[in-house]
Chain A
């Protein structure tokens, strides 16, 4: 099952790469994506594979615009700081504990933090995230747990 899903995704990637519907290309692509798909499912992702149910995948698609909006805000934030001659920053590193159960949630959370305004994931140890913030107001945003809730809804329900 896992292998089949991986193979489908890899075959889609092959289609993007080759950009041709030539019969030989398709055959090669099919064989290779099945080979690599089985390999990925059997050895790389033997446990806790990042497989999403249909509902979770839908939630994930809905999450992307939110993330993009956050990225724009955070880039503007950096622009504001960088272009201000006084450079108003007061960095801080805080720890934040989360209740995640799956690896994929942790990774999504860590990368989302890096892409949200003024915060950067420095270290992850089990479920504790160490976050560098450009100012305390930014890390407060993380501590409020809103992002956490959102990701729980995407990956763990």
Chain B
């Protein structure tokens, strides 16, 4: 009885949505509004209006800034949920059981628990890590000029963190990312959107509104840079946390 009620309710809600979908212009229709109005404007005036030389970023962070805000919030909520599961269950036990212990080389070798890192690898990774960091920062900051941006740069930054954890040992790296700090960093992307959104209110009266005046081009650019940094740092923090939460120690 209850199930039937739920089902019929769902059908009733679905009908208007289906009608709306049927009313949408067919995919690839050259007369669709998206092709006749918006694209042309994005392409012709995007650079001028949005303040980003990279059109994709302009559309993503300026014209559809609100959409992207929703997107990052959804992504980061989902990841936070995944993290919550990982953290409360005491970590996922990956590979621990089906992995045979390393075959002993000598008698005393088997007593010594983990194999130390090769000094060569340790050295080279430590040497490369700052360069990887600079590179990640470059990708994040230049997102509005060249392809790349917060998500990509964040992934590189996360990779740097992960390789340092692998090589230096989790014990040395974990204290650098204490729980409260990690929590705030994870939220960096939505938080930066909120901050910039509020700034938009101050400038234009609209949430996430970008000041349209030509003279404020630099301000627009700066706002986007802050958003990119937020996305990048947040992404990196999420990657790092997931890696640290995976596989119990």
Indicate yes or no for A touching B, C-beta below 8 A. Answer: yes
How many interface contacts (CB-CB < 8 Å) are there between A and B?
A: 51
Q: In the complex, A13→B129 CA distance in Å?
A: 13
Q: In the complex, A17→B138 CA distance in Å?
A: 8
Q: Is the CB of A124 within 8 A of B120?
A: yes
Closest-CB distance, A35 to chain B (whole angstroms): 9
**A1-59 at interface with B (beta carbon < 8 Å):** 6, 10, 13-14, 17-18, 28, 32-33, 36-37, 39-40, 43-45, 50
Across-interface contacts of B130 in A (CB, < 8 A): 6, 10, 36-37, 39-40, 44
Interface footprint category on A = 20 to 34
Q: In the complex, A94→B123 CA distance in Å?
A: 23
Across-interface contacts of B176 in A (CB, < 8 A): 43
Whether B134 is near chain A, meaning CB under 8 Å from some CB there, is yes
The chain A residue with its CB closest to the CB of B222 is A24
Q: Digitize A103-117: 1 where CB-to-B-CB distance is under 8 Å, 0 elsewhere.
A: 110110011000000
Q: In the complex, A119→B124 CA distance in Å?
A: 20
The chain A residue with its CB closest to the CB of B127 is A50
Whether B64 is near chain A, meaning CB under 8 Å from some CB there, is no
Whether B137 is near chain A, meaning CB under 8 Å from some CB there, is yes
Q: Is the CB of B129 within 8 A of A44?
A: yes
Q: In the complex, A32→B135 CA distance in Å?
A: 10
**Can you sample 29 A-B contacts with CB below 8 Å?**
A6-B130, A10-B131, A10-B134, A13-B134, A14-B134, A14-B138, A17-B135, A18-B138, A32-B137, A36-B137, A37-B130, A39-B130, A39-B133, A40-B129, A40-B130, A43-B176, A44-B126, A44-B129, A44-B130, A45-B126, A50-B123, A50-B127, A104-B123, A107-B119, A107-B123, A121-B120, A124-B118, A124-B119, A124-B120
Binding site for B on A (CB under 8 A): 6, 10, 13-14, 17-18, 28, 32-33, 36-37, 39-40, 43-45, 50, 103-104, 106-107, 110-111, 121, 123-124
